[in-house]
Amino acid sequence: MYFAMRFALAILAALLLAPGARGEIVVIDYEDLVEGALGDPLTHQGVTYRDLNTVSGVFPDGSTFDPQPDDQFIAEDATVFYNDFPSYGSPVHALTFGLAFVPGGNLTIGPLATVTMDLPQPAVSASLDLAYYENGVWGGIVYHLDAYDQGQLVASDSFVIADVEPRDNPAVATLQVSGAPFTELRLYATYEDSYSMPRGMIDDLTLDFVGPVPTENVSWGRVKRTWR
C-alpha cells in the first residue's frame, strides 16, 4: 500500500507539472493589512513568515549583533517611499521588520538578517521587491533569496549592496527564483562568511503555484491563472 500511495502521488505531481496543467500566479501586496506590528510568526494569505532575525552576525565596519527575539513583522504605510520609487511594489502598504514603524504615510525600513517563508503548496517561481539602504555602513552586504524543497536548495538569487558613496540612501531591487518545485523561501543577508543585518522592506511577493491555490480560509491577493 505504501508503494501504491507513492506511485499515486508521483502520478499526480507529473500531471500537475505536465504541459497544459493549470497553475495560478498570486501577488501578495499586503494592502489588506492594517499598519502596525503583526508578531512573529505571521501567517498571511496562506504564507507563514517565521524565524525573523534569529541569527548573530557582523556589519561591514566590524561591529556585531546578536539574535533579535523581540523583532516582529510590521505592516508599514510607505506612501512617501512609493512616491519616490513608483516602480516598487504596489502602493501603499509593505512588509517590514523589527520593533518600530512610523504611523501614517512616512516609514521605517527595518532590520532584516533572515526570514523564512513557508508556502501553502509547491511553487515553481517566486519573486519579491526589496527596499533597502545602500552605501555607507551597508555597502558590501549581500542579500539572498533561496528556494527549498524538503530541505534541499533548488534555486537562489542574490545581489551585493552598493558601496560607492560615503552615506546611506534608499534603493530597490527585485529578487527572483525559479526551477524545480519548492515549498520554502529564505530571505537573508550575509557579509563575507557571516550573516549581516541591513535594512529591508518587501512588497509584491509573487508566487507561481504548481496548481490552483487553496481558497478555504484564505483571502488571496491578486490571482492569475496560467497554463503550462
Give per-residue pLDDT as tens, 135-164. Answer: 999 999 999 999 999 999 999 999 999 999
Q: Is the pLDDT of residue 74 over 50?
A: yes
Q: Is the pLDDT of residue 183 over 60?
A: yes
Give per-residue pLDDT as tens, 1-30. Answer: 444 444 444 434 444 444 445 689 999 999
Per-residue pLDDT averaged across 65-85, rounded? 97
* Residue 79 forms part of a structural domain: no
- State how far the Cα of 220 lies from the Cα of 44, in Å rounded to an integer: 9
Average pLDDT score, the chain:
89
Q: What percent of the chain has pLDDT over 90?
A: 79
Domain that holds residue 59: 22-28+44-66+110-227
pLDDT at 166: 82
Specify the pTM: 0.87
Q: Is the pLDDT of residue 134 over 70?
A: yes
Per-residue pLDDT averaged across 197-208, rounded? 98
- State how far the Cα of 86 lies from the Cα of 97, in Å rounded to an integer: 21
* Residue 183 forms part of a structural domain: yes
* Residue 86 forms part of a structural domain: no
pLDDT at 4: 45
* Residue 132 forms part of a structural domain: yes
* Residue 205 forms part of a structural domain: yes
* Residue 206 forms part of a structural domain: yes
CATH number at residue 133: 2.60.120
Q: Is the pLDDT of residue 94 over 90?
A: yes
Q: Which three cell numbers stand for residue 26?
A: 498570486
pLDDT at 218: 67
pLDDT at 184: 98
* Residue 179 forms part of a structural domain: yes
Give per-residue pLDDT as tens, 101-125. Answer: 999 999 999 999 999 999 999 999 9
If one counts every other C-beta atom within 10 angstroms of the C-beta of residue 214, the result is 12
Number of domains in the chain: 1
pLDDT at 216: 62
* Residue 2 forms part of a structural domain: no
Please provide residue 92's backbone torsions phi and psi, each rounded to the nearest 5 degrees.
Answer: -120, -5
Q: Is the pLDDT of residue 213 over 70?
A: yes
Q: Closest Cα partner for 213 from 226, 200, 194? A: 226
Per-residue pLDDT averaged across 31-60, rounded? 97
